[in-house]
Amino acid sequence: MAEATRSARPQVMSVIIGMGLFHLACLAVIYTGASTVAVAVAFVMYVIRGMGVTTGFHRLLAHRSFKTNRVVQFLLALAGSLSVQGGPLWWVAHHRAHHAETDTVEDIHSPVTHGLWAAHMGWMMSDDAFNEKGNNSRDLHKFPEIKFLQRCYVWVLVGQIAALYGLGAWLGAAYPDLGTNGVQMLVWGFFISIVFTWHVTFMVNSVCHRWGAQPYDTGDASTNNVLIGILAFGEGWHNNHHFYPNSSRHGLRWWQLDVTYYFIKAMSLVGLATDLKLPKELRTAD
């Protein structure tokens, strides 16, 4: 264990420095200002990244709550990788460990046993975050394209930087009336958008194990939180999810907005998603 801990320290430092720089980079908006197009791109990227995490990383790869073809699976996993929350195999391994050990000492992002800061983002700055062996995600190793995304995680990050800067520079030169440029687009479309996506995702671990309703007895502190349900595209119905972990639908009541499920359902209507898993109580009503 000591050897594993030592080997994890460079990765821990890279996370601490990287996350710190991402947050500081958001302050560059004071210099760049805002434009309608830059804010719009930031929002679009928030939707793409967020839905990539919820649909691709979470409901497809981690829980296999529906089936799709490998091209769509790769595109969803790629969208999730754009969120800079770790590669798909690492993300899935930690999420499955969370379900196996929810709110125990072994659950490294539980606010019950480790505190709110650790649950929100501090766990990623610990040795334990990189000592996860990933044995529980080996079923995904049969997909070389998913392993490719894990290996090329850094290049996905670099590619975004180049693409967004290039987009802003091109728009600034071709359509100067838009009032944008490469640096402004990078600040909004990359740093601000990603940091916002981070905190929305992280609140599922922290807020949704502290505040909200508990309609189901799950034996843990998971809750349904309306605000996170909206911001996280349906992931905030977390108590529902812990009671029915393999369900493709988390918003189980008509008023529980679940954009991720609506997207999965839409894919099923055009043949891109099949075998949607649902709780028995919903199968006849869906």
Retrieve residue 229's tokens. Answer: 């349900």
What's the chain's average pLDDT?
94
pLDDT digits 0-9 by tens, 42-83: 999 999 999 999 999 999 999 999 999 999 999 999 999 999
What value does the mean pLDDT take over residues 245-261?
97
pLDDT digits 0-9 by tens, 146-156: 999 999 999 99
Judged on CB neighbours under 10 Å (0-12, 13-18, 19+), 102 is: buried
Backbone φ and ψ of 58, nearest 5°: -85, -70
pLDDT digits 0-9 by tens, 178-202: 999 999 999 999 999 999 999 999 9
CA 101 – CA 237 distance, rounded (Å): 19
pLDDT band at 98 (very low <50, low <70, confident <90, very high): very high
CA 63 – CA 277 distance, rounded (Å): 10
pTM of the entire predicted model: 0.94
Backbone φ and ψ of 65, nearest 5°: -80, -5
